[in-house]
Chain A
Amino acid sequence: MNELKKYLGIVWIALGPLAMVFMAWQAWDKISIAKPGIDTTNTALQWGIILLIFIPIAIGLVIFGKYALAGEYDKLPESSEEI
């Protein structure tokens, strides 16, 4: 199981940037097809907020993957003293 945890870490490391690229591509696509004027501003605002909140989450997923790869989750703490 610990081997699986480590190998999956690589998947999480890759998934973070991939998710961000997909989101950024979608943002670009949706903003570019919005009607000029307030519609474009509105779409840009929506996607701006989503990207703003998802960048730290994607970074978090990469860090999670890094921890998994380093074996940090091989044994979870069983009490607060171990944290």
Chain B
Amino acid sequence: MNQPNQQNSIFKVIGASSLGTLIEWYDFYIFGSLATIIGAQLFPADAGASALINTLAIFAAGFIVRPFGALVFGRLGDLIGRKYTFLLTLVLMGGSTFLIGLIPSYSSIGYAAPILVLILRLVQGLALGGEYGGAATYVAEHAPKGKRGFFTSWIQTTATLGLFLSLGIIVLAKNIIGAEAFADWGWRIPFLLSIVLVGVSIYIRLKMHESPMFTKLKTEGNISKNPLKESFNKKGNFKMVLIALFGATMGQGVIWYTGQFYAQSFIENTCKIDFNDSRYILLWGIAFATPFFVIFGAWSDKVGRKWIMLTGMLLGIIFYRPIYQTFLDKSDVTTWTDKNILKEEAPVVTRFAINDVDSIVSSSVKVSFANGSSYNKVNIDTVYANPTKMIGHAQVIKDKVLPTSTFWVYVGLVFFQILLVTMVYGPIAAFLVELFPTKIRYTSMSLPYHVGNGVFGGLVPFVATLIASFAGSTPLSGLWYPIGIAALSFIIGAVYLSNKADENVND
């Protein structure tokens, strides 16, 4: 094959693989982003039962099924080939996402609705566990020597772009049809849209050929007979699986989840920034930072993978607390410089009965400033019929729309966190591919990746909330989990990992 054709072919490989993986991430994230609305529509009103199903959907899908999917599809990919395996994961993911969009509400079919959601969410987790390893392996096995980091870095952009796409489509749909219609039926749009995206991706992937390295192995009859046994029962390989997990993917997972999910959740729930504003901040941060996946991936071909990834972890360890402290300080409305109140709307008063005689009175006032910023001041009073009981009072400032300069400070800080994500995540596919031999590569790299990301990364919100429940904790205490895990991974990586890349992955 001549040079331009070869070039053309590798970009087709990258495009086809990345598009499918991007859509898989999109499918996985829209569920998380719309969990509250799905809960209201498809789950019982009984808070306890609803929480139980939610726990299963979130915990089981992320922590058990995802690594399990890595084993199931990794094994399949090493036995029958990369192409058909990651086609299968795409069909499973797209099909289950589309079907979630079709599930009738709880009021129509009762408990069948949450049970169907749960089953389909588990299928999503399973498919996600199999997709990434396949795409990364497939691209890496097409990449020429010295460009593996650059080529696989395109796959690395897909997780963040999938999040970007999911947030973008949700915000767009909500703005077009209105919040009320979106909560009623419009939330189904992002799910149903998935079938179109998946259809296009399947069509493109079907036209692709099997990985040349796998084809060679198959022709020579050197395919592994038992990839699971060879990956985890053979000391020489298992020790590499362990070092990949503890020295790289564990730290990478927490940096990834903190920079994107925890940041958004903190801005929205702790700083009480408006729903749309908090998403716009993340969208801008992602848009500015995404090219750096490719930059760091390509750079890792020249200087090695190890220190780029570890520097990303180290910067997270050093800067997370100052960054989140700045988020908190800048969200304090008393520090906003514009004191020219443009408009203070009439209070909206709501009364909720606690019992026959006592009640909670909530009074909400929207305050707007000349520079475009605003917030809702909510006074909550507990009113008792018994005059000897004290009236309970609390004030919450929420739905804050930030002044423009503060908004961009937030964007800058989120950008910096996603930059760290690009440092740890950009080179990691090439790093994992180079650790393992072709015949068990899909299985061996998928498990540490999904344990690092699905378990250590996925637990960031849960453990952060757990730490926040300890006596004497502050809003920043939850950060000790990602800082601690990243520090542990940094030490293990710095001491045990080699910066030398395996030039030849054709073995």
Contact = CB atoms under 8 A, between A and B. Distances in A.
Interface of A: 1, 4-5, 8, 12, 26, 30, 37-39, 41-42, 45-46, 49-50, 52-54, 57, 60-61, 63-64, 67-68, 72-73, 76-83
Nearest to B48: A38
Interface of B: 48-49, 51-52, 55-56, 59-60, 63-64, 67, 234-240, 242-243, 245-246, 436-438, 451, 455, 459, 462, 466, 491-492, 495-498, 500, 502, 504-505, 507
Contacts of B236: 77, 82-83
Given A60-B242, A78-B500, A45 B52 contact: yes
B52 A26 contact: no
Contacts of A79: 502, 504, 507
Closest 7 CB pairs of A and B: A38-B48, A80-B437, A80-B507, A64-B242, A83-B236, A49-B59, A76-B498
Contacts of A5: 495-496
Nearest to B236: A83
A53 B64 contact: yes
B493 to A, nearest CB: 12
A54 B59 CA distance: 13
A15 B460 CA distance: 20
A39 B59 CA distance: 16
Main secondary structure of the interface of B (DSSP, over half): helix
A49 B64 contact: yes
Contacts of B240: 76-77, 83
A16 B242 CA distance: 13
B185 to A, nearest CB: 29
A25 B141 CA distance: 46
B495 A8 contact: yes
A78 B504 CA distance: 9
- Taking each of A5, A37, A79, which has the highest tally of chain B beta carbons within 10 Å of its own beta carbon? A79
Contact of A46 (B55, B242, B498): B55
A63 B241 CA distance: 11
B453 to A, nearest CB: 13
A30 B243 CA distance: 32
